[in-house]
Amino acid sequence: MKIQLRKILNAAPSLRKLLNADIEITKAYHLSKLGAKVDSEIRQYEILSNAQIKKLGKELTAGQGNYKITPGTPEFKKYQEEMEKLQDMEVDIRNYKPVELTPEDCVDMKLSAMDLVQLEPFIVFKVC
């Protein structure tokens, strides 16, 4: 399944709600595999984000390795542009087919309308 990295980042909190839900074991298995793949993509994104902050930012305290980019600066604009490019990238979540969930699966879940929108690439909600 190919998907924009931005959609993965946006769906992560909603996906965590699903991963914590008590659902049928085979569906839970497929969701846990998806969770591992999503976590891997997020970790890689965070590594690259931190590298950009270190590259473009200023060290807060010498020798401590903490960097900051001040909003409104050319460096901040460059950071935003680079992260937008990264988020627009299409990544491949290999061997993943959306999991079908029924209303019975979702009884104890507290999913908002926004959660449902964010989860759409990963889940098929079967109404009847």
Q: Are 101 and 17 in contact (CB under 8 A)?
A: no
From the centroid of its chain, how far is CA 19?
13
Phi, psi angles (nearest 5°) of residue 77:
-60, -45
Strands 99-101 and 123-125: parallel
Mean pLDDT of 31-41: 93
Secondary structure class of 4 (helix, strand, coil): strand
Strands 58-59 and 67-68: antiparallel
**pLDDT digits over 51-103, tens only?**
999 999 999 888 788 999 999 999 999 999 999 999 999 999 888 888 888 87
> Dihedral through CA 7, CA 9, CA 15, CA 17, nearest 10?
-130
> What is the reported pLDDT for 57?
94
pLDDT band (50, 70, 90) for residue 116? confident
